[in-house]
């Protein structure tokens, strides 16, 4: 499968890893939008949050178990934001489910 994030998970494409376990992989975004900008991805290919179902939701749950650990390791004690973009209107550019962790500064209230 020609998927950028599958290639990052396998190591075929290099990344700046911050966390890894059996179910997920986290790395620094190449174009950071905040002082801390990390992407957390499930190790199985799920196209987006729009196709989460009983058959793959364990991976999603494990991603959300990893997020607080990553936030703690990045000293995000004042808070942070988790975002996932879906499809064209959501401006999803990589078709492998990923959650952006943004933090390290006061983020804007604006959501769009």
Decide: is 29 part of the binding site for ligand AMP (CB under 6 A). Answer: yes
Is residue 67 involved in binding ligand AMP (CB under 6 A)?
Answer: no
3-state SS, one letter per residue, for the chain: CCCHHHHHHHCCCCCCEEEECCCEEEEECCCCCCCEEEEEEECCCCCCHHHCCCCCHHHHHHHHHHHHHHHHHCCCCCCEEEECCCCCCCCCCCCCCCEEEEECCCCCCCCC
Q: Does 85 bind ligand AMP (CB under 6 A)?
A: yes
Q: Which of 2, 12, 31, 89 binds ligand AMP (CB under 6 A)?
A: 31
Reply yes or no on whether 89 is catalytic.
no
Q: Which residues are catalytic?
A: 98
Residues at the site binding ligand AMP, with contacts judged by CB under 6 A = 4, 13, 15, 27, 29-31, 39, 85, 91-94
């Amino acid at each position: 499968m020609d998927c950028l994030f599958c290639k990052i998970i396998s190591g075929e494409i290099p990344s700046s890893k911050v966390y890894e376990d059996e179910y997920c992989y986290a790395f620094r975004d190449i174009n950071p939008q905040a002082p801390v900008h990390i992407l957390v991805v499930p190790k199985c290919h799920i196209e987006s949050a729009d196709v989460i179902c009983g058959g793959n939701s364990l991976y999603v749950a494990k991603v959300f178990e990893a997020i607080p650990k990553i936030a703690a390791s990045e000293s995000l004690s004042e808070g942070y934001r988790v975002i996932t973009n879906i499809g064209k209107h959501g401006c999803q550019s990589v078709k492998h489910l990923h959650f952006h962790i943004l933090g390290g500064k006061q983020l804007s209230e604006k959501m769009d």
